Each structure stands twice: as structure tokens, then as C-alpha cells.
Amino acid sequence: MSKSIRIASGQGFWGDWLEAPVRQVEAGGIDFLMMDYLAEVTMSIMQKQKSRNPAAGFARDFVPLMERILPDLVAKGIRVTSNAGGVNPRGCAEGVLAAARKLGLAGSVRIGLVTGDDLMDRLDDLIARGHLLNDMDTGRPVTDIRDTILSANAYLGMQPMVTALDRGAQIVVTGRVTDTGLTLAPMFHAFRWQVDDWDKVASGTVAGHIIECGAQASGGNLLKDWQKVRGLTNPGFPIVEARPDGTFYITKAKGTGGVVSVASVTEQLVYEMGDPTTYITPDGVADFTTIHLAPAGRNRVLVSGIKGRPRTDQLKVSIAYFYGYKAVGTLVYSWPDAYAKAKAADKVVRGRLADLGLEFEQILTEYVGVDATHGRLAGEPSPDLAEVQLRIGVRAREKAPVERFTREIAPLVLTGPPSVTGFAGGRPQVEEIVAYWPALIDRNEIEPHVTVDILEA
Amino acid sequence: MSKTVKRRRAAPKKSRAGSGKKSRTVQLRYLAHGRSGDKGDTANVGLVALEPELYPILVKEVTRARVARHFKGMASRVERFELPNLNALNFLLHGALDGGGTISLKTDAQGKVYSTALLRMTISVPEALGRRLRLPRA
């Protein structure tokens, strides 16, 4: 294929704007719709849901969404790549199949199902064979947390998705694949690029990085000249117009709000960046210092010049484990002396927690309106603040002290400093903390286990 | 802080050593925009020059050491990377997120607004440039 393809972003995280993929498909003129659902801890949430109900464990929103847009996808020949499958990609794919049948589309929809990323059942075997799965940040061995692990998944690259597309899948459903792979796969499928063409891998990776957070590349959360961004009631999610030579445009659908500019793309490029010369994915390594951006008309930016290096021998593994409990309580103190009252209230709470002999790993107090976002950099507040929100958080390995803490906020209303309100939400909730453990594993331990199935509606 | 801070810069508004030119002190918000995010307990801050001609000033003035001093007590270690192609600097603020992710109790557990915290910093810019671009004095 020698002409360009258009890959549209439809979802930047599980919980993103529900209308975005619908608007992308309605506007048309796109070949692929990529939808990223998986943040680092999403898998563990899904694992928890699956342990209660074996039919759950994927992004539930995805099935009704597909039911809503499938007729249009089929009519327009738009294909979907999505990691909505979470820890139950088969259940997700079957949900989409059922939706297709319900719509009378039996025989006209093929689903590509990618599995093999889930390591839960293989974990003990891998550890026994010497895979330490050390925490990439702290170096601790995974045996330290073995009993508390809730989910473990390898990040797969684009290749199984390319296979699914090559075999005619209209909807590709996966578990833990990289966000960027969802955009790379359509390019490698359409352009027949060689998988060791590292500059092409890097180009597609950068394209994927730009659109994987949805509207964050097209005017959402844009700091530069934010007051001038118009039409955010209907933001146009970004679209990659990819060309066979590896260069691409970032744009958005006509008639939508937001903005695509060098500034909007640059802000997204630096988001969650580490060493810019070495952006590692399962498919290759991209050098972000080679990216060239140029304005190419209204809401259109040309991206070119991207260089890459060979992929590494390892894949990243994301492990989620149970850590402990936390709770956050808030109250609002009003003028006059709002900040002083809030500080006095904090002292009372800490004193009562100490008198009860409760032990916490941490107690953190923030004063919203004074220091919650910038800490001491915000400087001394005005003595005349209209109000200050007291925000106290606690964390402990045991549930009991956190539970008790949640009872210590409301009493302040009648037993603490005056002019207090904002307690209508009731007692703070105790939250279970599921923490994230990034690790590396040899690629050849994972790839032979990856499978691609084609399911017919 | 992992490093001792080198001797302080010359006070602003005075003649800069050797150059003999005047400078003015300007808050970074008038020189750059940016975005920040997280990786575990590390926040990243991408700082992007508002105009290409301002990028060399950012490179010279917004040093690793000065950013470490700016975030003193809020991050344990700071790294800096240059992206001249994007007129941008990328800073990694290690240990800045109170454990990060789901463990952190902070409002900004994911470092989303560290970018604006960096924009509070002030640096010196040549007086002539400051006058031409009408950069407000800090």
C-alpha cells in the first residue's frame, strides 16, 4: 500500500470522554480507531473484579461502545485496535461478538484476540527458574511481595496485533500491550514495513505516544495560551495521518474544538518522558531528540526525522500487589483566619490519633488553597483567604488504624476550631492500596506463549 | 538534596561578570510552558521555550543544580536532559511523589502540576531581550 492511512485516537484512558470514539467514527475519513484503556494499576483493578466474577476483568465500557458504533465501523470499513481486554481479553472479545450478533452483523465482523501477556499462572515457575523480576526502581526481588501479588502481565508489542490485522480482524482486542503498539500495528500492517526498520518503528512509536492520551495532544490540558483554546465542549481527539516513508501529520476532525499545533504536540511529547534519547518499547527504541515538528496548516503538524535503535532483549512486566490501606479526610474552614483555623484543626486530629495510640506509616496534611499543589513554593498565603480546605491523609499496612482515623474528621465540626463546613460527603472511605511493581523479563520467555485467535461473529 | 549547591549566582539586575551587560529577573512562566507526569516515585517536568530564541537562555539558566535548589526538600535528586529539536528541557525529579502512584497521599500524586511549580522559578535574561519581548520583571 502506498497511500497514507489515518489512525484516530478514541480513548486516552479507562474513564476518558465516552463520546470521543463515537465522534471520530461519525466524522469518518479514518481507517483505524485506537483505544487505550490501561494505566499502570488498571490491570489490578480488573484482576480484583475477575476474582469476584470470572466473566469480568476487562473495560466494561468497551462492549456497549462497540454495540453503538459497530454498524458504522462495518459500513465505513474502520478497524479498531484496543487493549480493553485487560485481564480477560477473551471475555471482552466474546462480549463484542455477542453485540455484533445482536446487531445482525453475524458473518461480517472478525475479532482478533491477542493473549499470552498474563503471567499470573506462570509466576512461580518463572521465579523457580531464576527470573528474579526485581523492582526496576528499588532492585528488590519479587519474592519479597510474592504472597500479595494480584496481577502480573508482560507488555506485548505490536506484532500479535499486526498478525490479527493481517488475518482480517476488524476489531483487535488485547490485554497488556503497550499504548504505542496500538498505533504502530496499523502502520506495520498497512505499509508492510520490516520489523527491524528501526527508524520506522521509532516513527510509529512517537505517533503512538502523541495520540495515546487522547485530547491531551489536541488542546486538552494545554498550558500554552490555554485561554485561547476554543470548543472544548467537543474536543477533536487527535488523528495520525501516517505515510509510507515514516513521516506523519497530527490533525483532528473538521468542525471539532481544541487545537493541534506545534505547542500542543510538544507538550504531549514531553509528558511522562524519561531520557529522551532512549524511549524503550517492546518494538524498538525511539530517540525523541530527533523529532522534527513543523506547522502544516490549520490544526495540522508535520512530524519527521525520527531515528530509532534496535529493540532490547527484555520486556517490561507490570506487577500489581496489595500494599495496605489509606484514607483522606477533608473539611473547609472559612474567613477570618481560615488557614490558622485549619492548622489548629490538624493539630487536634494528630493529637487525638496519638492519644489513641494509632500507628501509621504516614500522616500527610495539605491545605488546599495554600500549599496542596506547589508546597512551600507557593509562599505565604494572603492573611485574608476566603477559605482553606484541610486535607489529611493517612496510610497504614493494617486496616484498623485507618478505619479509626475515618471517625476522627466529622467530630471536629463540634469539637474543634470554628467556622467549619464541607463535611456533607460523610465519613472518609478506607481504600485498599494496590501498588505497582515494574520489572523486566527475557523476551523469549514471553513471545512463544503469545497467541492470536480470530473469532467470527 | 544529593549534591551540595554551588555558590550562589550573582544577584540579578547587577552587571553580569564579564559581559558588562544588564539583565533583568523574570519568572519562567513568561519564558516557557510545559507539562509534567509521573513514573513511579519520579515526576518529570518538560519545560518548553515559548519562543525558539528563549531556548538557549533556558539551557544556560535553568540548570540541574538550580532546579534541584528550587525543589529542595521536595525531590531527592534531579536529572536534566536537553531536547534542542523541541526547544525543550526535560527534568526528572526523583522521590518527588511521596511514594508515587497509589501509595502517595498527595493531592498531586501523579506530579501533574509540577510543571507549573517549576514555572515559579526566576532567572536572569539580558535586559535588551527583556525589553524587546516586554518580559515582566519578577
Given an 8 Å threshold on Cβ–Cβ distance, is B117 in contact with A224? Answer: no
Q: Does residue B4 form part of some domain? A: no
Number of domains in chain B: 1
Across the interface, do B105 and A273 touch by the CB < 8 Å criterion? no
Partner B contacted by A296 (CB < 8 A): no
Domain contains B59: yes
Please report where in the chains the cell 535548589 appears, as a residue.
B69
Which of A226, A272, A380 to mutate to test binding with chain B, by most B CBs within 10 Å of its CB? A272
Task: Specify which residues B80 forms β-bridges with.
Answer: B91
Residue B108 lies in a domain: yes
pLDDT of residue B1: 38
What per-residue confidence (pLDDT) applies to B129? 94
Has residue B2 been placed in a domain? no
Would you call A374 and B44 a contact, using CB atoms and an 8 Å cutoff?
A: no
pLDDT at B16: 46
Residue B10: what pLDDT?
46
Digit-coded pLDDT (tens) for B43-75? 999 999 999 999 999 999 999 999 999 999 999
Please name the residues between 389 and 408 in chain A that touch chain B, using a CB distance below 8 Å.
391, 393-395
Beta bridge partners of A389: A332, A368
Quick one: average pLDDT of B62-89? 98
> How does the average pLDDT of chain B come out, rounded?
89
Question: Given pLDDT bands bounded at 50, 70 and 90, which one contains residue B5?
Answer: very low
Q: What range does the domain containing B118 cover? A: 23-132
Q: How far apart are the CA of B126 and the nearest CA of chain A, in angstroms?
A: 23
Residue B99 included in any domain: yes
Residue A49: how many CB atoms within 10 A of its CB?
Answer: 18
Q: Output the pLDDT for position B19.
A: 53
Contact B83 A270 (CB under 8 A): yes
DSSP string of A164-204, one letter each residue: HHHTT-SEEE-SSB-TTHHHHHHHHHHH---TT-HHHHHHH
Which residues on chain A are in Cβ contact (under 8 Å) with B108? Answer: 372-373
Domains defined along chain A, listed by start: 5-117+155-312 (no CATH), 322-437 (3.30.70.1150)
CA A23 – CA A33 distance, rounded (Å): 11
* Domain annotation covers residue B34: yes
ipTM here = 0.95
Q: What is the DSSP letter of A122?
A: G
How far is residue B123's CA from residue B62's CA, in Å, rounded to a whole number? 7
Q: Is A291 on the interface with B (CB under 8 A)?
A: yes
Burial call A109-132: b when 16+ CB within 10 Å, e when fewer: bbbbbbbbbbbeebbeebeeeebe
Rounded average pLDDT over B28-55: 97
More reliable by pLDDT, A402 or B11: A402
Q: Which one, of A393, A205, A403, A405, lies nearest residue A306 by Cα?
A: A205
- Asked if the Cβ–Cβ distance from B46 to A267 is below 8 Å, we say yes
B107: in domain = yes
| pLDDT higher than 60, residue B11 | no
For residues A284 and A309, give the distance between their C-alpha atoms in angstroms, rounded to a whole number: 6
CB-CB under 8 Å, A293 with B48: no
What are the CA-CA distances from residue B106 to residues A44, A204, A230, A319, A340 (Å)?
A: 21, 35, 31, 23, 21
Q: Which residues of B touch A (CB under 8 A)?
A: 33-41, 44, 46-48, 50, 70-71, 73-74, 81-88, 90, 92, 98, 101-103, 105-108, 113, 115-117, 120
Phi and psi (nearest 5°) for A297? 110, 180
User: Is the Cβ pair A270, B39 closer than 8 Å?
Assistant: no
Q: Which residues of chain B lie closer than 8 angstroms to A323, CB-CB?
A: 102-103
Q: In chain B, which residues have their Cβ closer than 8 Å to the Cβ of A41?
A: 101-102
pLDDT in tens, A83-121: 999 999 999 999 999 999 999 998 899 999 999 999 999
Say whether A223 and B35 touch across the interface (CB within 8 A).
Answer: yes
In a domain, B1, yes or no: no
Q: Residues with Cβ < 8 Å from A202, sequence gap 6 or more?
A: A284, A285, A286, A287, A290, A306, A307, A308, A309
> Looking at chain A from residue 15 to 44, which residues have their Cβ under 8 Å from any Cβ of chain B?
40-41
Nearest to A271 among B46, B105, B108 (CB): B46
**With a cut of 50, which residues of chain A have pLDDT below it?**
1
B120 burial type by CB count under 10 A (0-12 exposed, 13-18 middle, 19+ buried) = middle
- pLDDT at position A112: 98
A 10 A CB-CB count for A355 gives 8
